[in-house]
Amino acid sequence: MKILHLLTLAAVTLSAGAGASAQPKAKWLDTTHSFGAFDEDLGNVTTYFKVVNTGDKPLNILSVRASCGCTSPSYSRKPVAPGDTGQVAVTYNPAGRPGKFDKKVKVETNADPAVTTLTIKGVVIGDRQTLRAHYPVEVGFLKLKNTVVQFGEVTKGRTKTAFLDGYNQSSDTIHPSISGLPPYIVADIAPRAVPPGEQVTFTLFFDSSKAKDQWGLSTSQATISPDPLSSLVKEVSLVAIVNEDFSKLTPQQREKAPKAAYSTSSIDLGRIQRGKVAHAELTVDNYGKSPLIIRRASCPEDFVKVKCGKEKINPGSQAKITVTVDTGKMPADAGLVNSRLSVITNDPSRPSSPIRIVGELTD
């Protein structure tokens, strides 16, 4: 009788232990799916990730979360019995999203580990309307976002980075190139070989320490082509505003700094007969305690010429800036002169001074 009792107790203990160890096990057949390259016009694409419950307890998919709104997962809330298979459907919406994509979906279950990450990827070949919206500039099969690269403000002695994105619309790999850069700008192209339907980024570095004569508005040009041997090219503008670094000046140094004062903030040329040349002058006084250096005096228009009497103005002295406007070089339909003269100096309190130039053309 005692032996029977012990056997019964052992059976109950084993049964309880087996129940306590029962658990679901999630075995995913795949966790990554590539759609490859496909046309945007194809619309939504869907794949199914299958999971087998190799455990001895029902497997529950508790939640599924996508990394962005372009990816939509769905799944059944019904428990997956031991030995059965469940699935998670993942749909990607390519509308307005040309180029390469790599999206993540996190699946939480009652198995261990609780979270599994699923990945979908591919390349969307954009349709013409989408490409025109995202990459309106055409250089053969290479499409660019714009033709102006803006560096913004660059402090003298420092390097600023800017980017220009492109897209390969062809069915072949291209090797974009950029040439004609000034010595103070270098570029990196990634990737060097751009597969069909994928994006390329031109990363440009403006090293102002090498731009000795660049002050204020700095503009230069470079040429981009889809291949170094291609005759198809597009000129892009590289724009920056180079400022002197006054951040390290002490209060005592600022007290002894140069101070610029201008005889006028605007030059009115009055009425000018079309085709004639007009001249004007303004003076720059240095009321500071150190020499005033005119870094640059310029106008963006080619019909306006600017000449400084001297670039270094000692304390208590002045210099003249002469402005010449050749109306014969202005557009035929122009009726007004409306330009801006920019004077850049080493005055920390007023490093840049705009002088307006106006006038009326008469026949």
From the list 293, 299, 263, the residue with the least C-alpha distance to 281 is 263
Residue with tokens 């040349």: 277
Other Cβ atoms closer than 10 A to 116: 19
| Domain assignment of residue 145, yes or no | yes
Helix (H) or strand (E) holding 20: helix 2-21
User: CA 8 to CA 17: how far, in whole Å?
Assistant: 14
232/259 same-domain check: no
Predicted local distance difference test score (pLDDT) of residue 7: 44
Compute and round to an integer the Cα radius of gyration of the chain: 35
Q: Which residue among 71, 96, 125 closes a domain?
A: 125
Q: Which residue among 194, 212, 243 closes a domain?
A: 243
Predicted local distance difference test score (pLDDT) of residue 304: 97
204/273 same-domain check: no
pLDDT in tens, 321-348: 999 999 999 999 999 999 999 999 999 9
| Domain assignment of residue 9, yes or no | no
How is 259-313 classified by DSSP, letter by letter? Answer: -EEES-SEEEEEEEETT-EEEEEEEEEE-SSS-EEEEEEE-SSTTEEEEES-SEE
| Domain assignment of residue 287, yes or no | yes
3-state secondary structure of 192: coil
| Domain assignment of residue 4, yes or no | no
31/118 same-domain check: yes
pLDDT in tens, 142-190: 999 999 999 999 999 999 999 999 999 888 999 999 999 999 999 999 9
Predicted local distance difference test score (pLDDT) of residue 6: 44
The C-alpha angle with vertex 246 and arms to 243 and 252, in degrees rounded to 5, equals: 155
| Domain assignment of residue 18, yes or no | no
Helix (H) or strand (E) holding 128: helix 128-134
Helix (H) or strand (E) holding 283: strand 277-286
| Domain assignment of residue 79, yes or no | yes
Predicted local distance difference test score (pLDDT) of residue 132: 83
0.85 cut: is pTM over it? Answer: no
256/358 same-domain check: yes
Question: How would you write the pLDDT of the chain (363 residues) with one tens digit per residue?
Answer: 444 454 444 444 444 444 457 899 999 999 999 999 898 989 999 999 999 999 999 999 999 999 889 999 999 899 999 999 999 999 999 999 988 899 999 999 999 999 999 999 999 988 888 888 889 999 999 999 999 999 999 999 999 999 999 999 888 999 999 999 999 999 999 999 999 889 999 999 999 999 999 999 999 999 999 999 899 999 999 999 999 999 999 999 999 999 999 999 999 999 999 999 999 999 999 999 999 999 999 999 999 999 999 999 999 999 999 999 999 999 999 999 999 999 999 999 999 999 999 999 998
3-state secondary structure of 49: strand
237/261 same-domain check: no
Residues 6+ apart with CB under 8 A from 154: 160, 206, 208, 218, 240, 241, 242, 243
Residue with tokens 């004007």: 280
Residue with tokens 């059944």: 76
Q: In the chain, how many domains are there?
A: 3
239/261 same-domain check: no
CATH number for 308 = 2.60.40.10
| Domain assignment of residue 90, yes or no | yes
User: CA 279 to CA 335: how far, in whole Å?
Assistant: 18
Residue with tokens 């390097």: 159
| Domain assignment of residue 99, yes or no | yes
Domain containing residue 199 = 135-243
3-state secondary structure of 60: coil
255/239 same-domain check: no
Q: Please give the single-letter amino acid code of residue 178.
A: I
Cα atoms in the Cβ-side hemisphere of radius 13 Å centred on 171: 2
From the list 56, 41, 57, 59, the residue with the least C-alpha distance to 126 is 41
User: CA 347 to CA 288: how far, in whole Å?
Assistant: 9
Q: Which residue among 180, 213, 243 closes a domain?
A: 243
